[in-house]
Structure 1
Amino acid sequence: MRDLLLEIGLEELPAQYVLRSEKQLAERVTTFLTEARVQFGAITVYSTPRRLAVLVKDVEENQQDLTETLRGPAKKIAQDAEGNWSKAAAGFARGRGLSVDDLYFAEEKGVEYVFADRHESGQPTSTLLPALEDVVRGMTFPKNMKWGTSSLRYMRPIRWLVALFGAEQIDFEIEGVKTGNVTRGHRFLSKGDVVITEPAAYAETLEREFVVASYEDRKGRIERQIEELASEQGWTVPLDASLLEEVTNLVEWPTALFGEFDARYLELPEEVLITTMKEHQRYFPVYIGETLKNYFVTVRNGNAEHLQNVAKGNEKVIRARLADAVFFYEEDQKTKIDEQLVRLDRIVFHEKLGTTGDKVRRVEQLAGTLAPLFNADAAKVARAGAIHKFDLVSQMVYEFTELQGVMGEKYALQQGEDAEVAAAIREHYMPRFAGDASPATSTGAVLALADKLDSIAAFFGIGMIPSGSQDPFALRRQAQGVVQILADWKIALPLDKLLSQVVDSQLQAGLYDADKEQVKAQLEDFFMLRLKYRLQERQVRYDVIDAVLTTGLAIDRLDARADAVQAMLASEAKLLIEQLTRVVNIAKKGEAGDVDPSLFENTEEKDLHAAIEATLPETERAVEAGDYHQAITSLRALEHPISTYFENTMVMSDVEAIRENRLREMKRLAATIENVADFSALVL
């Protein structure tokens, strides 16, 4: 056995794509070896901004032998009456590198078939490994580029390749770059090219050349260094997970340091300071207790030499950034909200959907109609709807787009707006991402829902529907936000009715010219997928999802319904589910109407009717209250009466009056069952 090393050397990768590319390379190498029938041991992955690498331990010297039994056509097709082989049999053998002499017959499930045993001896692993070229070439990335005269599209240009099986080099070439045993150390600290003598020495060799090849190792070093700095200075330095990941993937040899900026900049809103440090400079903010201080921590891609000069350089950069922020902040405060609203009419929202000012007015109108659903104050909703995007034309948001909504709230408060109205300006963007909270105020919830529904319906109306990975207007994220808000606020209005209302209003306003029913159907399908995704995230079984979603697009009780049905499946419920499904299926043949007890012919029919009379009101009250566990418990009381009823009663009687009476009974019971779930969708 030998170790295998594959390293792809690249120009600096975008930090956000390093880890996913590392994972992809490991998966592709694993798949390659598995499909090649080569056994191997543990896999270790490495990645830095300049390299992706995989180390595979204990790779077998030879491919495993392959012995398989192949089934061909049935005997009646493989041979004629005289026992001669048919073209089908000959083709079966030839296609597998065999002759008809290798064929034999055997019975399978009562039918005789042609079979053949094929044996393929394993090849030396070293002869298979040059095909790793396909692994490298086949890597996929969110964004690709070409370089020079290369025809290959890749995340970044390939600069070197290392491919070793033990000490043996694996030969292949990609766009003029040949494999070898030479890698490169740190761009500035290393002395030059670095020879890897054997795969197991990879990480240790790079360490000597100022490259920490392991992401987890680099991350750990950064965490420890920042903690040491914080401890020495008496600071608290929160390690934001996404920022830590990004910084880790920007450096190969991390060294943490800190800098300082003028305390007068602390007069800026804290969000401005943090955004400047995190988003623009990749700095970690510094606190003492819960108070933000005029220091920052950053990570250098280098050693500890001349750190003071590095700190001064960073201080100079952030000083300029913060000076700009002060200027923007002071200038914005000179402009009234109403003056900024006028400027929204100069910003194109979309060439087919008008200006941002047009959108604001649509959202304001829609929010007014939605306010009663949230018991929101109509006056506050109206004011928030009128001004909720005014900060988009502020200088601060123009420079720091991450602060949209945040600065709107602050500026609104400074100009005397109601606190809830101001909060709604920030909250109407919520939830901004998966895991983010819904708006906390009713005004914010109404505005967020109206804004998202308007955008989604408008883009569907002009045919801009997400497909595949293409979603330039983030409609999927906004749709998830709609679902989350309706669920968190327990809004009872079914989503399909809400969508219909939005589309109707947009069509009446002449926003677009489209077939109303088609747009509504497309929107319902789109949101149905979002609801499925929501339930999948909650680990709900696929058949339970189907069972609860057939009851429509009512979101307020979706989670409770799914939980109840899933809990039901964990108990002894097979017979109950079968009986409820049978009732619903038979009920499809009848019409609703009053049941006449005088037409009952047997005791079981009377018993079922009595059980329904006693049970359905309780079940319907439970459904009305959203207690689906209780609703299912109530239905359990019908399990035995339904079972004995079907054993002793022919619903489809030859006597028309009796048949229709029994179908009305089934129809009545089915209506309540279907309000709980579609039990026929459950897989038993």
Structure 2
Amino acid sequence: MTHDYLLEIGLEDMPAHVVTPSLAQFKTKTAAFLKENHLTFGAITSFATPRRLALLVHDLADKQADTEEDVKGPAKKIAQDAEGNWSKAAIGFTRGQGMTVDDITFREIKGVEYVYLHKAVAGKQAAAILPGLIDVVKSLTFPTRMKWGNYDFEYIRPIHWLVSLLDDQVVPMQLLDIKAGRTTQGHRFLGKAVELTAATAYEDALAAQFVIVDPAKRKQTIADQINAIAKANDWTIDLDADLLEEVTNLVEWPTAFAGKFDPQYLAIPEAVLITSMKDNQRYFYARDAAGKMVNAFIGVRNGNSDHLEGVIAGNVKVLTARLEDAAFFYNEDKKKTIDQFVERLKSVSFHDKIGSMYDKMGRTTTIAGLLADQLNLSDADKQHLLRAASIYKFDLVSAMVGEFAELQGVMGEEYARLAGEDPAVATAIREHYMPISADGALPATTVGTLLALADKLESLMSFFAVDLIPSGSNDPYALRRQAYGIVRIIAAHDWSFDVTALQRAAVAALTENDQLAGLDYQHNQTALADFMRDRVSQYLGGQDVRHDILDAVVASRDVNLAAMLDAAKLLTKHADDADFKATMEALGRVVRIADKNPVNAAIATDLFENSTEKALNDAVGAIKADYTVAPTENNYQALRSLTPVITDYFTETMIMADDEAVKNNRLAQLSVLANMIHQFGDVTAVIVK
């Protein structure tokens, strides 16, 4: 016999972004609870609105399965005395198992008799176990929490009701002063409280009270309504997935509506219009058949179509006020030159320990120049990069960005184009923020990419210079995200990016240009290098690179990001080769000895005492001619070809010879080879079986 079980948490309206992850967490923890308590079940249907999280468990077992087990106790000689009387140990053991000494049997194990009890344990009824789910309700975690009343308990929002129904019977549980029952709440304005006759009546009962509890059905309803409006008006609507998800979690009974604003506002840049509608008001914007934005929007009401004209008028009024502000800011900003904006940045603090935003742009320009030279950028691209770097933060002091902070970079691009800047410069101003999240889009242009790298590296160097280093989960300046963005960019372009070398070059250039402003950029250089290694490790972990290979490549002596990434690819590519084990063992043996006893000296061939020394010297010399400074397939194959030569060398040669000159010559020979191997990291960390 199986059952259906419903558990609903009724709350005040949750933030939209919390609903979906909280529902997933609720389902996962409930399933884990049922499994831990040995209650079998079928599918779990999830329901959620801004005011509720609910689960309907199907095919729930009536009870736990009955179990039988044999429990071993003390040895017979401990359980009974010489006369056969039961000891306290035996009596206590049986009592602890809920049985008596009459239930004892003996079994012999390796010549010793032990007490045994055969227990038949009847499974508990589901109704007796389910009240424990209140602990699951309490255990849900949220990004923000609050208290209410006189309680110390914290939750995302105050809880107002609980429903706990096993078929048609209430399963008792209580949280604070809320006792679970069968009463749920309909729509806040259109519906009313409803008594559920059974767990399976939940969805239909709430639909009758103007609540679509299935998020997928609610989302589809919204999409269908928007598409119908678009079709009726011959519009094209971008059904942005994130916005659709957010709106779905803002309403219980959706009704889409269209509104129009004065076409004069179409003169405002599209990005501003979209931000005003999408980000600020949660509206979907519309385009005509030619792809041109029209003076219309589609919103979604949490209610029915009654008095919809008033709702539309109210929304148009609110949007118009925002657009009027945007138009004013836009027109005011256009009265100023980029140079005027840049001059104002001198009084805008980047950080009180680091300096102004103007100072930051100056340092970024210097670093950008170093990157341009390193990558042999064309003269035109270099000039565009340096121009972009010298102005790229100017829009931060614009009126528009002051009101719409999310448009920083976007307005910089717009205003740069209006001012007649080259398109490459304008685009770079927008792209330098990218990626704006761990998996966000990367800059698309070379100039924008290099500006993004220079800006992020300058931020990292500056914050590390003043000891503002992320620790634990504390990262107020998003330095981990910026460093990870550098790694992703380098991975996409496979550019050489030696952090340590760039730091040194930057310090020298900043010193020469008198841009240090009292900052010690050599301070914490090692810490920054290790910080970047951690981001490489994070990236490779996301690429499913083996942990041992990951550990090997990030241990590279140089913090060249591209080299680490390439080394990981190559070692991963060859990890399944038949001779990978032999290759790693041979190379690892060289590295272990050479790193422990490094000798930097010329190799004297007249000190060779056997043919394997000459063979290794000749073989290494042969591959050095084509051996590049960064790991490549050819480099790997070259080292791989040395495996038999290295094996013979160690078989025939005693490295630590009694003759000091011979010993040092052999160590020098190994050190040369070890330096070549090190471009693949610490190969001794690679696990081979």
What TM-score bracket applies, with the shorter chain setting the length?
Answer: 0.7 to 0.9
Matched, 1:522 2:527: yes
- CA distance, structure 2, for counterparts of residue 575 and residue 117 of structure 1: 55
- CA distance, structure 2, for counterparts of residue 169 and residue 242 of structure 1: 38
**Residue 584 (structure 1) aligned to one of 574, 584, 591:** 591
Aligned runs of 1:24-173 on 2, under 5 Å? Answer: 24-64=25-65, 121-173=122-174
CA separation of 1:501 and 1:663: change in aligned 2, threshold 3 A: closer
Q: TM-score, with normalisation over the residues of structure 1? A: 0.87
Q: How much does 1:630 deviate?
A: 2.5
Q: How much does 1:32 deviate?
A: 1.6
CA separation of 1:328 and 1:575: change in aligned 2, threshold 3 A: same
CA separation of 1:559 and 1:513: change in aligned 2, threshold 3 A: closer
| Structure 1: segments with no counterpart, 5+ residues | 83-88
Total equivalences in the alignment: 662
| SS of equivalent to 2:439 | coil
CA separation of 1:592 and 1:341: change in aligned 2, threshold 3 A: closer
- CA distance, structure 2, for counterparts of residue 381 and residue 609 of structure 1: 47
Alpha-carbon displacement from aligned partner over 1:437-457 (angstroms, at most 9, x marks no partner)? 433444433432332223333
- CA distance, structure 2, for counterparts of residue 428 and residue 302 of structure 1: 42
Q: How much does 1:410 deviate?
A: 1.7
Answer yes or no: is the 8 Å Cα contact 2:461–2:521 preserved in 1: no
Partner of 1:558: 564
| SS of equivalent to 1:163 | strand
Partner of 2:456: 452
Answer yes or no: is the 8 Å Cα contact 1:7–1:163 preserved in 2: yes
CA separation of 1:347 and 1:651: change in aligned 2, threshold 3 A: closer
Q: TM-score, with normalisation over the residues of structure 2? A: 0.86
More displaced, 646-655 or 181-190? 646-655
Q: How much does 1:64 deviate?
A: 4.2
- CA distance, structure 2, for counterparts of residue 70 and residue 475 of structure 1: 57
Q: How much does 1:149 deviate?
A: 1.6
Partner of 1:567: 573
| SS of equivalent to 2:197 | coil
CA separation of 1:504 and 1:71: change in aligned 2, threshold 3 A: farther
| SS of equivalent to 1:588 | helix
**Residue 620 (structure 2) aligned to one of 606, 612, 620:** 612
- CA distance, structure 2, for counterparts of residue 102 and residue 157 of structure 1: 56
Q: How much does 1:379 deviate?
A: 4.7
Partner of 1:86: none
Matched, 1:634 2:638: yes
Q: How much does 1:305 deviate?
A: 3.7
Partner of 2:86: none
CA separation of 1:104 and 1:480: change in aligned 2, threshold 3 A: farther
AA aligned to 1:438 is L
| SS of equivalent to 2:202 | helix
Aligned runs of 1:5-404 on 2, under 5 Å? Answer: 5-64=6-65, 121-190=122-191, 192-287=192-287, 288-374=289-375, 375=377, 379-404=383-408
Q: How much does 1:106 deviate?
A: 6.1
Matched, 1:545 2:554: no
- CA distance, structure 2, for counterparts of residue 606 and residue 307 of structure 1: 91
**Residue 416 (structure 1) aligned to one of 411, 414, 420:** 420
CA separation of 1:141 and 1:96: change in aligned 2, threshold 3 A: farther
Answer yes or no: is the 8 Å Cα contact 2:161–2:180 preserved in 1: yes
Q: How much does 1:15 deviate?
A: 0.7
Identity %: 42
Answer yes or no: is the 8 Å Cα contact 2:548–2:687 preserved in 1: yes
Alpha-carbon displacement from aligned partner over 1:273-326 (angstroms, at most 9, x marks no partner)? 111111111111112232222222222222334444433332222222222211
Matched, 1:498 2:506: no
More displaced, 362-371 or 394-403? 362-371
- CA distance, structure 2, for counterparts of residue 297 and residue 571 of structure 1: 58
- CA distance, structure 2, for counterparts of residue 411 and residue 11 of structure 1: 43
Alpha-carbon displacement from aligned partner over 1:464-514 (angstroms, at most 9, x marks no partner)? 333343332222211222223344444424113334566788999676778
Q: How much does 1:419 deviate?
A: 3.1
RMSD: 3.6
Answer yes or no: is the 8 Å Cα contact 1:461–1:512 preserved in 2: no
CA separation of 1:158 and 1:615: change in aligned 2, threshold 3 A: same
AA aligned to 2:237 is V
- CA distance, structure 2, for counterparts of residue 350 and residue 422 of structure 1: 26
| SS of equivalent to 1:180 | coil
| SS of equivalent to 1:160 | strand
CA separation of 1:419 and 1:678: change in aligned 2, threshold 3 A: same
Answer yes or no: is the 8 Å Cα contact 1:345–1:355 preserved in 2: yes
- CA distance, structure 1, for counterparts of residue 115 and residue 471 of structure 2: 45
AA aligned to 2:245 is E
Answer yes or no: is the 8 Å Cα contact 1:8–1:51 preserved in 2: yes
Alpha-carbon displacement from aligned partner over 1:102-141 (angstroms, at most 9, x marks no partner)? 998968xxxx999988966532222222221211111111
- CA distance, structure 2, for counterparts of residue 251 and residue 103 of structure 1: 67
Partner of 1:479: 483
More displaced, 295-304 or 307-316? 307-316
Q: How much does 1:244 deviate?
A: 1.3
Q: How much does 1:180 deviate?
A: 0.8
Partner of 2:439: 435
- CA distance, structure 1, for counterparts of residue 506 and residue 194 of structure 2: 64
- CA distance, structure 1, for counterparts of residue 257 and residue 519 of structure 2: 59
| SS of equivalent to 2:562 | coil
